[in-house]
Amino acid sequence: MTTFQRARSEEQREIRRRAILDTAAAMLDEMSVSALSLNELSRRVGLAKSNVLRYFESREAVLLELLDRDWREWTAALPEQLAASLTPDAPPTQRGQQFAAVLAHSLAQRRVLCDLLSAQAGVLEHNVSVDVAARYKRAALDNVAALAALARRHLPELGGHADQLCAQAIMVCGAVWTHARPSTAMLAAYAADPSLAALRMDFTTTLEEILTTLIIGTLARADQ
C-alpha cells in the first residue's frame, strides 16, 4: 500500500490519478470487475475513500477510464497483428475471415478488457455524472473510429459500413464474454447433466464465428 502526501500541484494530482488507475488495473488482474470495490481500491492505493472520490466520482468512473485505456492499447497493437495475418490480395470474404480471427484471438488475450466491455452498458455507464458519461462516450466513439480505420485499410470494400460494423463487434465481444463464462452453479449443472451444455460457448471460437458472419454480411450489403 502506498501512502501519499496531499497533492498540491496539477502534476501531483495527475500522479495521484495515475496511481489510482494503476492500482485498479492491478486488482483486475486478480479479480473480476464485479468484485472490485471502492473500499478495497482505497485501501490498496493508500488513500481514504473520500480522497479517492476527489479524483474519480465513483468506482464506475475509475473503471470507465481503465476501459478506455485498455481499449486504446488493444487497438494500438492490432496493426502489426493484422499485417502479419491478412493476405492483401485475397478475396474480400477471405480477408474478412482473417480480420475476424485476429480480433477474436487478440481479445481472448485481454481478459480485463473483455470483462470491462461486458460490464460497460449494464454497470459501468451507471452511477456516473453526465460529464463522465459524455467524456467516456466521446472516447468510445474515437476508439470505434480507430478500429473502423483499420477495417477499411484491410477491407476497403466495407466503405461507409465499417464504423457500424466495428461498433457491433465491440458489443458482441462483451456479450460473448459474459455467456462464455458460466457461473459456478451452471458449471455444476453441466457436470451433473452434460446435455445442458449443448449451447455452451467457447469465447474465441464463438466470437470469431460471429464476427466472420457480421463481416461477410456487411460486405454483401456494401456490394449492393
Check whether residue 23 and residue 113 sit in a common domain: no
Which of 161, 184, 174, 46 has its CA nearest to residue 122? 174
In the DSSP assignment, the letter for residue 5 is P
Q: Looking at residue 153, which CATH number applies to its domain?
A: 1.10.357.10
Where residue 46 falls among pLDDT bands split at 50, 70, 90?
A: very high
The answer to whether residue 170 scores a pLDDT higher than 80 is yes
Query: Which of residues 9, 28, 56 is at a domain's end?
Result: 56
Question: Is pTM beyond 0.85 here?
Answer: yes
Q: Which three cell numbers stand for residue 111?
A: 481478459
Q: Cα separation of 72 and 69, whole Å? A: 5
Same domain membership, residue 72 and residue 32: no
Residues 46 and 63 reside in one and the same domain: no
Q: How many domains does the chain have?
A: 2
Say if residues 61 and 132 touch (Cβ distance below 8 Å).
Answer: yes
- Kindly report, residue by residue over 128-139, the tens digit of the pLDDT: 999 999 999 999
Alpha-carbon distance of 125 to 101, in angstroms, equals: 29
**Does 52 share its domain with 63?**
no
What is the domain range of residue 22?
Answer: 1-56
CATH number at residue 48: 1.10.10.60
In the predicted model, is pLDDT for residue 108 greater than 70?
yes
Q: Which of 9, 26, 56 is the last residue of a domain?
A: 56
Q: Give the residue from 35, 56, 77 where a domain finishes.
A: 56
Q: What is the pLDDT of residues 48-102, one digit of tens each?
A: 999 999 999 999 999 999 999 999 999 999 999 999 999 999 999 999 999 999 9
Amino acid at 138: R
> Reduced to 3 states, what is the DSSP secondary structure of residue 18?
helix
Instruction: Mark residue 47 as left, alpha or beta (left: phi above 0; alpha: psi -120 to 50; beta: remaining).
Output: beta
Query: pLDDT, tens digit, for every residue of 81-92?
Result: 999 999 999 999
User: What would the grid cell of residue 144 be?
Assistant: 470505434
